[in-house]
Amino acid sequence: MESTILSPLLDRVRTVRPLVHHITNTVTINDCANITLAVGASPVMAEAPEEVAEMVSMADALVLNIGTLSAQQVGSMFLAGEAANDRDCPIILDPVGAGATRFRTSTVMQLLDRLEIAVLKGNAGEIGTLAGADAAVRGVDSGGIEGDPGEICRELAERLGVIVGMSGPVDYVSDGTRVVSVENGTPMMDRVSGTGCMLSSVVGAFAAVSDDRFLSTVAAMAVFGLAGERAAPRAKGPGSFRFKLIDALATMEPSDIIGGARILSL
Amino acid sequence: MESTILSPLLDRVRTVRPLVHHITNTVTINDCANITLAVGASPVMAEAPEEVAEMVSMADALVLNIGTLSAQQVGSMFLAGEAANDRDCPIILDPVGAGATRFRTSTVMQLLDRLEIAVLKGNAGEIGTLAGADAAVRGVDSGGIEGDPGEICRELAERLGVIVGMSGPVDYVSDGTRVVSVENGTPMMDRVSGTGCMLSSVVGAFAAVSDDRFLSTVAAMAVFGLAGERAAPRAKGPGSFRFKLIDALATMEPSDIIGGARILSL
Amino acid sequence: MESTILSPLLDRVRTVRPLVHHITNTVTINDCANITLAVGASPVMAEAPEEVAEMVSMADALVLNIGTLSAQQVGSMFLAGEAANDRDCPIILDPVGAGATRFRTSTVMQLLDRLEIAVLKGNAGEIGTLAGADAAVRGVDSGGIEGDPGEICRELAERLGVIVGMSGPVDYVSDGTRVVSVENGTPMMDRVSGTGCMLSSVVGAFAAVSDDRFLSTVAAMAVFGLAGERAAPRAKGPGSFRFKLIDALATMEPSDIIGGARILSL
């Protein structure tokens, strides 16, 4: 896949400035808002049952992240998700910690069952758990998985009828037929809380401006990884990496992208 | 209006170190705490009905921000607001997203109706919505408003009997009779989530040390804008702007202020 | 006490990578996650009653922080605490704002009464309040306390059967018999929201890798203070201090520690 897909989609996010509605965790909610602004979109966070469907009616993408899940939040996710489905607003689901507790795993299963999810984006442990692979999850950290990660994504995508994105040292994206790997990124990503959540926000911004959610997810993962690659050499630790990642994404130019993306069709 | 008002009020915040109680959103709550410290005041966040009134009994200002409103939080806002009114502790209301959903708009109306609000501080879309002007709100972003912004603030301030502050490329403040514009600031403010919320915290800190809430609001808006002007040229993007804004406010000296404020009586 | 204790314990945190489960406030929850990663441990935040005990079953330490307490959160703290006690997972209690409201003070009393707490870590006002000393608390800020701080810690530690850590310009730690002071740190710590909360996360990470919770608490307080000492001269204000503190802890080497710790047996 050519990296020439990336720059037009990023331009389109910046021109359209899609509204990305989040129902997300309290740990990284601020990072999600700021990375959404950095990529060129507009964030909104709302989850009160009194308003959540009305707010979704303006949104161009909906990101559901279960990082600090509560029963009340599950209810709001369904209200928001149904409103999103009614108007073909794409839903991105980040199953943070699926596999760590039954509450998280079963909530993700229900969301996948009752809503039409456009993109399921998780780490290896989370995607592996949902795929029924032999996967390790500890808290919200991914352990390893047994098996071919690209094939695990493909089978899960085919079974669920969604785009599956698996983040890690190498990212994988599948629509159930095609599988690509994205080798952009930096080990610093794992040393900052919330880079996975931020990636889901970027996936949401890209999904909002393209009907091809396989392509938009690949583009989002490559662009976010490239921002990390630009930020890492300039950082003196995870504290400075975090703000430099936001700076790098906000100031990314077409010339930074061309030739930088490492996307392989598998 | 002379910029000579600014430095004494900032000094007074730093000397008195007022306690600014916040009931605010989960997105930018940390930024509100840190900007309150940066201006020289002390933040406290509490909203449990079991303690909120008791905590307000120590506070010098109360900031109510509806950015991630819940029904439970509305209840706490009334408990806190009534306790604040009982002891003449000034209340600053930030109607984040008013106009975007009926829940937000009607909650703001009720807060304005049942509590004595000292300062209503919002963006053009929010203030315009409350003023009944033709205003656009999308998520928590302001669209434009039709009409003269200074006059919209003046009429709303007169009708409600509050100080109205409208933030934007140019800020406006009115007490229902006087109107001033404050031209300090930087476009970078819009590229970081929570600068509006942070401004409300600063407005709260200044309101705590002055009985003239028109003057204190003008001063707060000018000082915050000046901090942004100092931070912006040194920032390489919104990530670095955010921490440099806090640094700039925390290290602001009288010499940075004199001649810098651009306050015009309209 | 020799500073030679510090480096091996820090190494051990980085090797074991303990899972530190937090139930904490919404103001500084992100800082707690990032400082936990910076010291070399893994953070998880979860408090839904549906999952909190199951998540604790994987944890190596549990940090309870009452900074934005709610009745619902108290329930989750007991569920988590009982699960932790059942498997000898150490509990760190940060009584943020104890003394400011009856709700906070009485909740802390109940947690201390019904759970086996390993380390109670607070500021002078909070520890003084719990010790029955003449202590001042204003919001979540500590005022002064009357009396000998080391002796106040010792008596409280003896009475409660816990390790008591009191943070401040000089830190004190006692197990009810021994008392040490730790003079590492910087006044910048007070100018950033959440440094006390971050310290509790670090105390949790160290408690997870040592059965001697007196020693591990002393080590955590010295290492965190040393990180602050390294960060402060490079910071241009509290905004930059905050990320440099995280960088400093993440990149701390044995050579930074040796000779740097100022730990005195009293």
Contact C239 B250 (CB under 8 A): yes
**Beta carbons of C246 and A236 less than 8 Å apart:** no
| Interatomic CA distance for residues B211 and B250, integer angstroms | 24
Phi-psi group of A139: left, alpha or beta (phi > 0 → left; psi -120 to 50 → alpha; rest → beta): left
B149/chain C closest Cα distance in angstroms: 33
CA distance C47 to B210: 41
Q: Which CATH architecture has domain B3-265?
A: 3-Layer(aba) Sandwich (3.40)
The answer to whether the Cβ–Cβ distance between B239 and A42 falls below 8 Å is no
Splitting chain B (266 residues) into consecutive groups of 10 residues, what average pLDDT does each group show? 80 97 98 98 98 97 98 98 98 96 97 98 96 83 86 98 97 98 97 97 98 96 97 97 98 85 92
- Structural domain boundaries of chain B? 3-265
Contact partners for chain C, using 3 or more CB pairs closer than 8 A, are: A, B
3-state secondary structure of C114: helix
Enter the DSSP assignment of A101.
Answer: B
Pair of tokens at residue B142: 């302001």
From CA A260, how far away is CA A128, in angstroms rounded? 28
The whole-angstrom separation of Cα C83 and Cα C81 is 5
Residue A170 CB burial class (10 angstroms; 0-12, 13-18, ≥19): middle
CB C147 within 8 A of CB C134: yes
- How far is Cα B205 from Cα B171, in angstroms, rounded to an integer? 18
Give the Cα separation of C141 and C138 in Å (integer).
5
What are the residues of chain A with a beta carbon less than 8 Å away from any beta carbon of chain C? 25-28, 30-31, 67-71, 97, 100-104, 138-141, 191-194, 235-240, 242-243
Which among A233, A220, A240 is positioned nearest to A90, based on CA atoms? A220
d(CA B63, CA B74): 13
**CA angle at B137 for the pair B131 and B141, rounded to the nearest 5°:** 120
A68, A103, A238: residue with CB nearest C37: A238
User: Which of C79, C72, A234, A73 minimizes the C-alpha distance to B68?
Assistant: A73
Cα–Cα distance, A156 to A121 (Å, whole number):
12
Of the candidates A67, A100, A235, the beta carbon closest to that of C55 is on: A100
User: Dihedral through CA B192, CA B197, CA B202, CA B207, nearest 10?
Assistant: 160
**Which pair of structure tokens corresponds to residue B101?**
């959903």
Helix or strand (DSSP H, E) at A64: strand A61-65
**Residue C203: in which H helix or E strand, if any?**
helix C195-207
Q: Report how many Cβ contacts below 8 Å link chain B to chain C.
A: 101
d(CA B74, CA B92): 15
- What does the pLDDT read at residue C145? 84
pLDDT at C1: 63
Nearest in space to C46 (alpha carbons), one of C73, C17, C28, C27: C73
CA C14 to centroid of chain Cα atoms:
18
Q: What is the residue-level pLDDT of chain A in tens, covering all 266 positions?
A: 666 778 899 999 999 999 999 999 999 999 999 999 999 999 999 999 999 999 999 999 999 999 999 999 999 999 999 999 999 999 999 999 999 999 999 999 999 999 999 999 999 999 999 999 877 778 877 777 889 999 999 999 999 999 999 999 999 999 999 999 999 999 999 999 999 999 999 999 999 999 999 999 999 999 999 999 999 999 999 999 999 999 999 999 878 887 899 999 99
pLDDT computed for residue B57 by the predictor? 97
Nearest-angstrom CA–CA distance, A79 and A85: 10
Contact C18, C41 (CB under 8 A): yes
CA of C190 vs chain A CAs: smallest distance (Å): 19
Given an 8 Å threshold on Cβ–Cβ distance, is A26 in contact with C29? yes
Compute the nearest-CA separation of C31 from chain B (Å).
Answer: 9
Q: How far is A15 from chain C (nearest CA, A)?
A: 31
Distance (Å, whole) CA B219 – CA B139: 29
Q: Which of B189, B101, B193 is nearest to B139 (CA)?
A: B101
Quote the minimal CA–CA distance from B204 to chain C in Å. Answer: 15
- Residues B224 and B194 sit within 8 Å (Cβ to Cβ): no
Helix axes B195-207, B213-231, angle to 10 degrees: 140
Out of A27, A194, A239, whose CB is closest to C244?
A239
Q: What is the pLDDT of residue A2?
A: 64
Least Cα separation, residue C185 to chain A (angstroms): 19
ipTM of the complex, rounded to two decimals: 0.96
Write the pLDDT tens digit of every residue in C56-75.
999 999 999 999 999 999 99
Q: Which two tokens stand for residue C145?
A: 């306390």
> For residue B13, how far is the Cα from the chain centroid?
15
Ordered DSSP codes for C42-104 = EEEE---TTTHHHHHTT-SEEEEE-TT--HHHHHHHHHHHHHHHHTT--EEEE-TTBTTBHHH
- Phi, psi values for residue C75, rounded to 5°: -60, -45
Secondary structure (H, E, C), chain B: CCHHHHHHHHHHHHHHCCEEEEECCCCCHHHHHHHHHHHCCEEEECCCCCCHHHHHCCCCEEEEECCCCCHHHHHHHHHHHHHHHHCCCCEEEECCCECCEHHHHHHHHHHHHHCCCCEEEEEHHHHHHHHCCCEEEECCEEEEECCCHHHHHHHHHHHHCCEEEEECCCEEEECCCCEEEECCCCHHHHHCCCHHHHHHHHHHHHHCCCCCHHHHHHHHHHHHHHHHHHHHHHCCCHHHHHHHHHHHHHCCCHHHHCCCCCEEEC
Of B100, B101, B238, the CB nearest to A246: B238
Determine the residue type at A156: L
pLDDT of the residue at C143: 74
Distances from the Cα of A192 to the Cα of B104, C45, C247, C248, angstroms: 34, 15, 11, 14
Give the integer Cα–Cα distance in Å for B8 and B128: 32
In this complex, do B194 and A243 lie within 8 Å of one another by their Cβ atoms? no
Residue in chain A lying closest to B192 (CA): A34
How many beta-carbon contacts under 8 Å exist across A and C?
A: 100
Residues in chain C: 266
Separation of first and last alpha carbons in chain B: 10
CB atoms within 10 A of CB C254: 12
**Which phi and psi angles does C50 have, rounded to 5°?**
-65, -20
- pTM of the full predicted structure? 0.97
Option in B28, B101, B237 nearest A30 (CB)? B28
Say what the pLDDT of residue B9 is. 94
Phi and psi torsions of A63, nearest 5°: -110, 120
CB-based contact A193 C43, cutoff 8 Å: yes
Neighbours of A2 (CB within 10 A): 7
pLDDT for res B112 = 98
Distance between CA atoms of residues B191 and B240, nearest Å = 11
Between CA A72 and CA A62 the distance in angstroms is: 18
Hey, are the CB atoms on B34 and C240 less than 8 Å from each other?
no
What string of pLDDT tens digits covers the 266 residues of chain C? Answer: 666 778 899 999 999 999 999 999 999 999 999 999 999 999 999 999 999 999 999 999 999 999 999 999 999 999 999 999 999 999 999 999 999 999 999 999 999 999 999 999 999 999 999 999 877 778 877 777 889 999 999 999 999 999 999 999 999 999 999 999 999 999 999 999 999 999 999 999 999 999 999 999 999 999 999 999 999 999 999 999 999 999 999 999 878 887 899 999 99
d(CA A173, CA A179): 6
Residues of B with Cβ-Cβ distance to C235 under 8 angstroms: 247
Residues of C in contact with B16 (CB under 8 A): none
Three-class DSSP category at C236 = coil
Residue B265 forms beta bridges with which residues?
B180
Question: In chain A, which ranges are continuous DSSP H helix?
Answer: 6-16, 29-39, 52-56, 71-86, 102-114, 124-131, 149-160, 195-207, 213-231, 238-250, 254-257
**Residue B90: closest CA among B206, B177, B224:** B206
3-state class (DSSP) for residue A162? coil
A37–B193 C-beta distance less than 8 A: yes
